[in-house]
Copies of this chain bind each other. A is one copy, B any other.
């Protein structure tokens, strides 16, 4: 597949983002040859995001350095409560999420990440899931479910680190099909039941 034809993803990361959810998303999508850009949001140290359990991840770009958002097929919001709060309260992120959703792109969020779906006013009334810790923030404005991964109106949501492989593989399947999903999944020695 040439670079022109590659699917493209943004993965946001802030201080306090859940590092496993961030890295599993980036890694699994890149195993599927999706062109992933890791974007730092409001970092205290401009060189890295200090994640929820102290892992320091160097982003590829800042939001202000990306000139054209139309090329991206999916945007991914990891959890980690503090990171998700930073991301969901950022007005540039809110505009970007709403714009991508209107354009028919996938918006994907895991754990506490779905807080950003709500703050961007996306798919209100639709089906959503999240980590139990933010259920109360979502259940009044969405049809709250407890599926490990849920897809509704191109909004993909999921529950926590233990569902992050399933979440990332679902994104791969939606963008590139079941064959690519299996091609990526098998060498990772994923359990038959995730």
- The interface residues of chain B lying within 8 Å CB-to-CB of A66 are none
* A35-84 at interface with B (beta carbon < 8 Å): 36, 38, 47-48, 51-58
Count copies of this chain in the complex: 2
A165 on interface, CB distance cutoff 8 Å: yes
Closest chain-B Cβ to A158's Cβ sits at a distance in Å of: 9
Given contacts A55-B26, A55-B57, contact A188 B165 (CB under 8 A): no
Interface of A (DSSP majority class): mixed
A131 on interface, CB distance cutoff 8 Å: yes
Inter-chain CA distance A15–B55, complex, in Å, is 16
Residue in contact with A189 in the complex, picked from B160, B187, B189, CB distance below 8 Å: B160
Closest chain-B Cβ to A84's Cβ sits at a distance in Å of: 15
Inter-chain CA distance A161–B47, complex, in Å, is 27
Contact A26 B38 (CB under 8 A): no
Interface size on A, residues (CB 8 A): 39
A24 on interface, CB distance cutoff 8 Å: yes
* A113-158 at interface with B (beta carbon < 8 Å): 131, 148
Inter-chain CA distance A47–B58, complex, in Å, is 10
- The interface residues of chain B lying within 8 Å CB-to-CB of A193 are 191-193
Residue in contact with A27 in the complex, picked from B20, B163, B188, CB distance below 8 Å: B20
* A155-194 at interface with B (beta carbon < 8 Å): 159-163, 165, 185, 187-194
Contact B30 A53 (CB under 8 A): yes
Closest chain-B Cβ to A14's Cβ sits at a distance in Å of: 16
A23 on interface, CB distance cutoff 8 Å: yes
Given contacts A55-B38, A58-B58, A165-B162, contact A189 B148 (CB under 8 A): yes
- Beyond contacts A160-B188, A192-B193: 18 other A-B pairs, Cβ-Cβ < 8 A, are A19-B23, A20-B20, A20-B23, A23-B23, A24-B24, A27-B55, A27-B161, A47-B58, A148-B189, A159-B189, A160-B187, A161-B165, A161-B188, A161-B189, A162-B188, A162-B190, A191-B193, A191-B194
